[in-house]
Structure 1
């Protein structure tokens, strides 16, 4: 691809990046908006390379790609919803990570953890379930949810942090 065309696409992307972020955010992809903006740009670059020449209307193509990506994400989101009942195994695995306690304390802790998991954002909860219950890797989870492995790691770290802080706070009382 000619360097001039690449710079033109990069300039267009820089101009429309904030608009695309808002577009994805309004369609429910708050946490994934940045990844989706980048994916839109990558698809535009790939299409430009495959076409062998310039795309007739890159701006229109950019927004068409963004719309299709938003639709794909919405479909993935519907498929990846995990009912709260399935979180019991995750709560058990997470609770087992803590120090050995008697059975009554573990049962109370499991109940608190289940309640905590229920308060997490849907995506974070789904990532924790897929990692701890299903034993999936970050890459596998990322492919299933249509996000980057880095975003999966952020969800895991954020979810575990919230759970550990809340458990520590209740145990300190």
Structure 2
């Protein structure tokens, strides 16, 4: 099936790598930030009577390099702000980054280590290699899903 064709970014940190040639994608974070914050606050507000103690966030098509954590970091900041506003302890957050198996996951894991070592509340991280044309997560397991420049490849939304 053509939709499962394995397209991926140039790996590593070399001259032609995605890590060094992704300024356009990085610039998109300014456009995406208010959308992610609004979705995150909408989720938190809809659970206002009983804020969840654990929140799972996935980034589909996270890629690698400096942009790998941009979207989920925005969501984490919005979650923490919301909980502080209601004087609640921040939840545990699980961040799952997804991309195609040929992605440079060494770079992604290094990014995740930096996120886990930040002064944030408990953050558990993981990598989920695979195509989002296939099922990647269990039913009702995710609270927030982010994706920037990857979902434009879809011809229709698929719900399992």
Q: Same fold (TM over 0.5)?
A: no
* Greater fraction of residues in helix: 1
Compare relative contact order (CA 8 Å, sep 6+) and give the higher one, 1 or 2: 2
